[in-house]
């Protein structure tokens, strides 16, 4: 049995073909910003990446400015541990969520698009549960977006997230975890506690994240779950 592989779309210009080649060949941990780039070109590059079955390059688009990013091994390791801890917490506290990973979040009317490292629907999990496609012109953004900043900073992407009304962003640089909450003036302000997961200690989360260089991945999960069970004194969450 053979599986048909779709041919990549034909580029509309040599420049666009060269940009697609650059995107697919970019080395880990690198970032390139190009402008001006039209929405159609951004769409084309997303299609090329999908048909190449290569999720490595991340694309961010903001009003004609395109940034292509790739991530390092450390970045991906921390991303996985963060997801493990968040999902373990929600499971142990009886909550529910719809994880969406590095979902492409874009709207042509906003002329913007981005791809978080991880994202979760928690308060709004039921609104997108079981759906493969989300229409961000009518559906809510993720309740929580995660950005691992060992490969690159997320500062330049915060205005894009604010445009989509993402209510909460976590930034982790390998040492410090910052929770940012969206304000009424469309900017983010640092908060000592999470809005999406208010009972979760961010300080304790960092302690377990920093175990990633000394402790097996699954062992971190087991130890974290044991900590949750032994220290959590609040009632189970009902999201």
* 164 domain residue, yes or no: yes
Rounded Cα distance, 205 and 25, in Å: 35
The pLDDT of residue 14 is: 78
| CATH code (residue 95) | 3.90.1570
* 2 domain residue, yes or no: no
- One domain for residues 162 and 206: yes
Find residue 188's DSSP bridge partners: 182
- One domain for residues 142 and 51: no
The pLDDT of residue 8 is: 46
Tell me the residue range of the domain where 46 lies: 14-69
- One domain for residues 48 and 160: no
- One domain for residues 111 and 46: no
- One domain for residues 120 and 133: yes
The pLDDT of residue 9 is: 52
The pLDDT of residue 158 is: 97
Number of domains in the chain: 2
DSSP-derived 3-state class of residue 214: coil
The pLDDT of residue 29 is: 86
Model pTM score = 0.89
Give yes or no for a cis peptide into 36 (omega within 30° of 0): yes
* 8 domain residue, yes or no: no
User: In order along the chain (239 residues), what is the average pLDDT of each group of 10 residues?
Assistant: 42 79 90 94 93 81 96 93 98 96 96 97 96 94 97 91 98 96 98 97 97 96 96 57
Task: Provide φ and ψ at 227, rounded to 5°.
Answer: -65, -45
Rounded Cα distance, 182 and 33, in Å: 26
User: How big is the CA angle at 224 (ends 237 and 88), to the nearest 5 degrees?
Assistant: 45
């Amino acid at each position: 049995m053979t599986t048909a592989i779709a041919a990549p779309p034909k580029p509309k210009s040599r420049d666009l073909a060269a940009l697609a080649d650059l995107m697919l060949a970019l080395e880990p941990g690198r970032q390139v910003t190009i402008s001006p780039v039209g929405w159609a070109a951004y769409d084309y590059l997303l299609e090329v990446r999908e048909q190449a079955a290569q999720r490595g390059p991340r694309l961010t688009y903001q009003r004609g400015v395109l940034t292509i990013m790739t991530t390092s091994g450390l970045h991906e390791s921390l991303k996985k541990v963060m997801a493990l801890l968040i999902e373990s917490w929600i499971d142990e506290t009886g909550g529910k969520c719809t994880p969406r990973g590095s979902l492409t979040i874009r709207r042509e009317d906003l002329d913007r698009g981005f791809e978080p490292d991880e994202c979760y629907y928690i308060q709004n999990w039921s609104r997108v549960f079981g759906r493969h496609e989300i229409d961000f012109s009518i559906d809510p953004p993720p309740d929580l977006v995660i950005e691992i900043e060992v490969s690159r900073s997320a500062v330049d992407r915060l205005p894009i997230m604010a445009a989509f009304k993402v209510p909460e962003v976590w930034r982790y640089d390998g040492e410090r975890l910052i929770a940012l909450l969206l304000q009424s003036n469309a900017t983010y302000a640092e908060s000592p506690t999470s809005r999406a997961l208010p009972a979760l200690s961010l300080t304790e989360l960092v302690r377990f994240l920093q175990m990633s260089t000394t402790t097996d991945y699954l062992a971190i999960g087991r130890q974290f779950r044991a900590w949750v069970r032994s220290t959590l004194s609040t009632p189970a969450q009902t999201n």
